[in-house]
Structure 1
């Protein structure tokens, strides 16, 4: 699957232009709007691959719709990241208050709050990282922002072995890109630019993996649906 995702973008005509635009937008993603455009493009990759179109990668066009799409995906990610962020902020606030109290008991309590709160925030962050791709997949499939928070629709996906495998592949890619980006960033500016292009390409790979995995899960779901079987028999 990783090899297929690596080749996916290059199957499109004029893929160099797509990679160039995507890399530049990724480099300027700190300005937010370019980041929304990148996320919007990745949503197009998700939609294309989840519908079985693996031979014709999308291109950058209809910028307004793409930006709005990316903004919605960002909102979904932000909501899921809110709780871990609040827990971590509270742990730091109360923990450092205890450490600065000047008493041994306060320092001990503050240290424990920092340790436990940080651990809880880490676990919640890992859970959010696992759920967010499924939430965005469900949004991409339905075009409903609320679908990203539909627990009843997300739960079957989250416990599906195909989704777990896709998450594992995506994690490996993210880990590799993180290491490579760290090495590239050792070179001022040029390294950061190169890392942005690597990050965009990796994002396309991950979107391909999740999109094709969703298509596989959907196919299995339809095959197991007795209503579909009855219609086919009729």
Structure 2
């Protein structure tokens, strides 16, 4: 799996041009639109991987990539908004209680509120990690099905996410991604690192797509 993932970006005739374009767009991602185009492209990588294609796609239909990137952003926003609101409300109330208690001279109560704030953050952390994981599943499902609605079929998304094949693929993607990112980070001083960093993203989304294909092959009704 790892060998296939590492070779996938280089199996296209114009792979170097593709990686260079992706690296440049990454540098310009603070302008928002280039970042959305990259996200749309990575969805196409996941789709092609899930469909068993041998090489990474090219940057060709820019409008479609932008639209797909917007859809991916919407999926991430919807999945993340509820836990974000819950965390904000809890932290705001507890922090306010701590501040009022401290202002009133009740340092013990203020310390209690502060401790509760820390506990809430610690409890919410694994929830955010789970939501981030399911967001990846939902975005890959969006890429493969082409349906925004399919990304919000939470039951199906969760069933795929808790499939061992997809989980292993994500773990491998994280490990490989971290390794390549370290190399890319060290090489950014000579700009080559930005190519490696984008290459790493292609590899990771290849693995996401591969994991999705393996998981759905064992799951009916998806």
TM-score range, shorter chain: 0.7 to 0.9
What does 1:45-60 align with in structure 2 at a 5 Å threshold?
A: 45-54=45-54, 56-60=55-59
Deviations 1:100-146 (CA, angstroms, capped at 9, x unpaired)? 33221441232123212211221111111221121112111221111
Per the alignment, residue 73 of structure 2 pairs with: 74
Q: CA deviation at 1:163?
A: 0.7
Q: Contact (CA 8 Å) 2:91, 2:117: kept in 1 or not?
A: yes
Check conservation: 2:39, 2:72, Cα contact below 8 A: yes
Contact 1:81–1:128 under 8 Å retained in 2: yes
CA contact (8 A) 2:169 2:210 kept: no
Aligned to 2:199: 201
In the alignment, which residue of structure 1 is the partner of 2:208? 210
Query: What is the alpha-carbon distance in structure 1 between the residues aligned to residue 110 and residue 169 of structure 2?
Result: 44
Q: Structure 1 residues 125 and 199, CA, compared in 2 at 3 Å: closer, same or farther?
A: farther
Corresponding residue for residue 62 of structure 1: 61
The residue aligned with 1:229 is none
Q: TM-score by structure 1 length?
A: 0.82
Deviations 1:26-49 (A, max 9, x none): 111122111111011111111111
- Alignment partner, residue 122 of structure 2: 119
What is the CA–CA distance in structure 1 between the aligned matches of 2:82 and 2:116, rounded to whole Å?
17
Superposed displacement of residue 200, structure 1: 1.6
Aligned pair count reads: 217
Distance 1:182 1:204, change over 3 A: closer
Q: What do the CA deviations read for 1:58-77 (whole angstroms, capped 9, x no partner)?
A: 10011111100011011111
Name stretches of at least 5 consecutive residues in structure 1 with no aligned partner. 226-234
Q: Identify if the C-alpha distance between structure 1 residues 178 and 53 changes in structure 2 by more than 3 Å, giving closer, same or farther.
A: closer
Residue 86 of structure 2 is matched in structure 1 by: 87
Q: Which residue of 2 aligns with 1:155?
A: 158
Alignment pair present for 1:5 and 2:8: no
Cα separation, 2, equivalents of 1:123 and 1:45: 28
Instruction: Give distance in 2, aligned partners of 1:116 and 1:82.
Output: 20
